[in-house]
Amino acid sequence: MQAKAAVNQKTGNTLNNAFASHFAKSMFLSVTALAILSFIGTRMFTHVDLNLYGYMVGTIVFIGGFFYRFIAWGERPPTKLILKKGLKLLKRKSTPKTSVEHLATYNFIWNRGIYRWTQHVLIGWGCILSCFVTFPLVFGWMYFTMDDNGHYNIIAMGMKVMTVPADGIIANLSYNALNITAIMVIAGVCMALYRRLKNMQARAEQNFLYDFMPLYMLLLVSITGLALTFMNIFLHGAGQPAMSLIHQWSVIITLIYLPFGKLAHIPFRPMSVLARNYREHYAEQGMKECKVCGDQFVSSEQSKDVVDVLGVNDIEFKAKEGHHLAEMCLPCRRKYRIAQFSGFPTHEVKVKEANQNAKG
Amino acid sequence: MKKRLYLELENCIGCRSCLAACTQCGGHEERNRNYVYDVNPLVNRQTMPLMCLHCENPACARSCPAQAIQIHETGAVLSALVEKCIGCQNCTIACPYGIPKFDQEQNLMYKCDLCIDRTKDGIPPMCASVCPSNTLQWLTDEEIENKKKQFNLDNGKWVTSMPYLEGETNVKVNLPGILQGITKLF
Ligand code: HEM
Ligand code: SF4
Ligand code: SF4
């Protein structure tokens, strides 16, 4: 048993050693996967749409930036910890519900304000739906063929899944899918920009590259996309090739920018589900009692994990009394600090903290 | 001229103007992010404010798996970025002074950001702007140095940082003389 494990570890290591880094390995595996999927989807590259070639290059550069950024991030001690423990807990019963609430319906943004929620649903779902339409087309996983009798065939991964009349509802929805999503994104981005004019908060802590650039890029992508449709329908395709280039360029820049700016939250937000599972699971396992008042304020596991993570950063907060400061509940920890300032043990007086809400 | 928040804790009269002012800062959404405590609630009326001290090596940011807590070039340790915070609450456990607050419904941490829209342009934060008792002040390093000279130094009573705090901080704290029976030399 032991020997077998050792051997496994060894072969595992040689596979890892074949690549210069995690980065090289992940990059290699994903580009290979993309190539294989496209190979199958296009029936051995017989249905490649060369107009979409730029997107393909853009996506591959994006994957490079993505792995570069996220592998560095995953190596940080607190991140690694939540990822590791959270992934093990994915089988919790609450996972599907938490995932939907956190990643699809954004209930928590609703609680921040209906305006913010509407704005995010428009931007977020607008983008997600656009990707569902665009990516399969770009990599040839999905394409359309036309029969003589005015019917379209929708072909996914090389198989015919549906035949629809060319002027039917489904066909119209699929021609217009990207127009609809573009309008969603434009509306959402306008809401975000309007909020920056109106609400000083949105203006705080922001700089051009982090805050405005993603909004302007999303706007540019959507407007040039809509302009393409407009030129097709009303201008009989005049100016279409140039606009197509601008559109392609804006999508590629957005993709490349994505891992480094505000939009980096998209691939990374699913971790909020891991964090929720981590908190729920370990809270059931056992709660930490405050060293001063005995209140249960966090799971024992998380309390220990935070102390360890701080230790890795050479931070250690030992109280004179011998315990770590993280072992006190928050009100006691605050009173303990007052006690350090005044010399009087405020935290030992059993009186609840008074009037902390500025409500008179 | 770079200025800092500077606290003279024993001046506090417990009016809670700083809490009220905090709620009005852009982005604070009418919730305050600071604290005022009774030192010995059953015996006397002495109060002291407790603020984020904007640590030079902030435990909150080090413990954040999402890198949601950014450190501004002025040294201010900012509130969680709204799109990054994943709601793990590590930061609330890590902060040695118990400063970050957490909103369960919004799944979001919020903490003092030193009113960054104001302080990045040299305007004092809301709390220091309104404090009527000079407990919270907005001073240059030179002014803080002069304050230091006014006090009887070398008696161990002026300590802006260690061992009363857990590490070096951007906010400077003056320890109270009154409570320790020492008259200040104004
Ligand atoms: C995986 C699902 C996603 C989650 C959980 C998520 C979460 C969030 C959260 C919590 C915020 C802060 C909102 C606020 O407090 O006002 C935000 C902002 C934002 N999200 Fe997402 N997001 C997701 C997907 C997306 C997608 C697909 C896009 C499309 C590009 C997107 C674009 C944005 C933009 C542009 C902002 C900034 C809004 C502003 O600055 O006012 N998000 N996101
Ligand atoms: S006092 Fe607490 S919240 Fe403020 S910077 Fe230091 S660790 Fe972070
Ligand atoms: S609660 Fe938010 S800000 Fe605090 S450590 Fe977790 S992710 Fe970071």
pTM for this structure? 0.85
Q: With beta carbons less than 8 A apart as the criterion, state whether A154 and A161 touch.
A: yes
Q: With beta carbons less than 8 A apart as the criterion, state whether A199 and B25 touch.
A: no
pLDDT digits (tens, 9 = 90+) for A122-175: 999 999 998 888 777 766 677 777 777 777 777 777 777 777 776 777 777 777
DSSP secondary structure code for residue A322 in this structure: S
The verdict on B119 and B46 lying in the same domain is yes
- Residue A275 pLDDT: 96
CB pair distance less than 8 Å for B63 and A309: yes
Across the interface, which of A111, A204, A338 has its CB nearest the CB of B37?
A: A338
Across the interface, which of A111, A313, A351 has its CB nearest the CB of B42?
A: A351
pLDDT digits (tens, 9 = 90+) for B25-35: 888 888 999 99
Across the interface, which of A305, A306, A334 has its CB nearest the CB of B98?
A: A334
The verdict on B61 and B123 lying in the same domain is no
**Residue closest to A51 by CA, chosen among A253, A247, A257:** A247
- A271 close to B (CB below 8 A): yes
CB pair distance less than 8 Å for B98 and A112: no
Model confidence at B182, in pLDDT bands (50, 70, 90)? low
CB pair distance less than 8 Å for B50 and A262: no
Cα of B103 to ligand 3 centre, how many Å? 11
Chain B residues with beta carbon closer than 8 angstroms to that of A265: 83-84
Q: Is the peptide bond before B163 cis (omega within 30 degrees of 0)?
A: yes
For domain A22-272, the CATH architecture is Up-down Bundle (1.20)
Distance in angstroms (rounded) separating the CA atoms of residues A73 and A55: 26
The verdict on B46 and B118 lying in the same domain is yes
**Residue closest to A115 by CA, chosen among A213, A201, A212, A179:** A201
Which atom of ligand 2 sits closest to the CA of residue B54?
5
Distance in angstroms (rounded) separating the CA atoms of residues A251 and A52: 11
Residue that finishes a domain, picked among B72, B94, B110? B110
In CATH, what number is assigned to the domain containing residue B87?
Answer: 3.30.70.20
CB pair distance less than 8 Å for A78 and B42: no
Where residue A158 falls (left for φ over 0; alpha for ψ -120 to 50; beta otherwise) is: left
Which stretches of chain A are assigned E, i.e. beta strand?
Answer: 142-146, 151-156, 159-165, 287-289, 296-299
The verdict on B70 and B133 lying in the same domain is no
pLDDT digits (tens, 9 = 90+) for B77-132: 999 999 999 999 999 999 999 999 999 999 999 999 999 988 988 899 999 999 99
Q: Is the CB of B69 under 6 A from ligand 3?
A: yes
Model confidence at B183, in pLDDT bands (50, 70, 90)? low
Q: Is the CB of B173 under 6 A from ligand 2?
A: no
pLDDT (tens, 9 = 90+) of chain A, 360 residues, equals: 344 444 344 444 444 455 556 666 666 677 777 666 666 665 555 555 556 677 777 788 888 888 888 888 888 999 999 999 999 999 999 999 999 999 999 999 999 999 999 999 999 999 999 888 877 776 667 777 777 777 777 777 777 777 777 677 777 777 788 889 999 999 999 999 998 887 765 555 567 778 888 999 999 999 998 988 888 777 777 778 888 888 888 988 888 888 888 899 998 899 999 999 999 999 999 999 999 999 999 999 999 999 999 998 888 888 888 889 999 999 999 999 988 888 788 888 888 887 787 664
Between positions 131 and 160 of B, the ones with CB within 8 A of A are: none
- Which residue range(s) make up the domain with B4? 1-50+114-185
The verdict on B119 and B176 lying in the same domain is yes
Tokens for B112, please give them. Answer: 């003092």
The verdict on B44 and B80 lying in the same domain is no
Mean pLDDT across chain B, nearest whole number?
87
CA distances in angstroms from A292 to A316, A322, A323, A330, B43, listed in the order given: 19, 12, 10, 11, 21
Tally the domains of chain B: 2
Q: Is the CB of B77 under 6 A from ligand 3?
A: no
Which atom of ligand 2 sits closest to the CA of residue B111?
3
The verdict on B6 and B38 lying in the same domain is yes
- Residue A97 pLDDT: 95
Distance in angstroms (rounded) separating the CA atoms of residues A244 and A250: 10
A299-A301-A303-A305 Cα dihedral, nearest 10 degrees:
-150
Distance in angstroms (rounded) separating the CA atoms of residues B165 and A310: 16
The verdict on B180 and B166 lying in the same domain is yes
CB pair distance less than 8 Å for A356 and B19: yes
- Residue A9 pLDDT: 41
Q: Which helix (H) or strand (E) holds A80?
A: helix A77-88
Cα of A106 to ligand 2 centre, how many Å? 29
- Residue B130 pLDDT: 96
Q: Which helix (H) or strand (E) holds B103?
A: strand B101-103
- Residue A52 pLDDT: 67
- B87 close to A (CB below 8 A): yes
Q: How many CB atoms lie within 10 A of CB A6?
A: 9
CB pair distance less than 8 Å for B97 and A333: yes
Q: Is the CB of B87 under 6 A from ligand 3?
A: yes
- Residue A177 pLDDT: 84
The verdict on B46 and B121 lying in the same domain is yes
Between positions 188 and 207 of A, the ones with CB within 8 A of B are: 199-205
Protein residue with least CA distance to atom 6, ligand 2: B55
Distance in angstroms (rounded) separating the CA atoms of residues A210 and A213: 6
Tokens for A162, please give them. Answer: 């549906």
Distance in angstroms (rounded) separating the CA atoms of residues B181 and A338: 17
Residue that finishes a domain, picked among B93, B110, B127? B110
Angle value at C-alpha B90, between B89 and B93, nearest 5 degrees: 95
Q: Is the CB of B53 under 6 A from ligand 2?
A: yes
Min Cα separation A222/chain B (Å)? 22
In chain A, domain spans: 22-272, 286-348
Distance in angstroms (rounded) separating the CA atoms of residues A231 and A233: 6
What is the interface pTM, i.e. ipTM, of the complex?
Answer: 0.92
Which atom of ligand 1 sits closest to the CA of residue A104?
2
CA distances in angstroms from A258 to A38, A121, B68, listed in the order given: 23, 18, 17
Q: Which helix (H) or strand (E) holds B5?
A: strand B3-8
pLDDT at B154 over 60: no
Across the interface, which of A204, A268, A340 has its CB nearest the CB of B26?
A: A204
Protein residue with least CA distance to atom 38, ligand 1: A192
Q: With beta carbons less than 8 A apart as the criterion, state whether B100 and B60 touch.
A: yes
The verdict on B93 and B177 lying in the same domain is no
The verdict on B145 and B165 lying in the same domain is yes
Q: How many CB atoms lie within 10 A of CB A318?
A: 10
The verdict on B140 and B84 lying in the same domain is no
- B41 close to A (CB below 8 A): yes
CB pair distance less than 8 Å for A334 and B97: yes
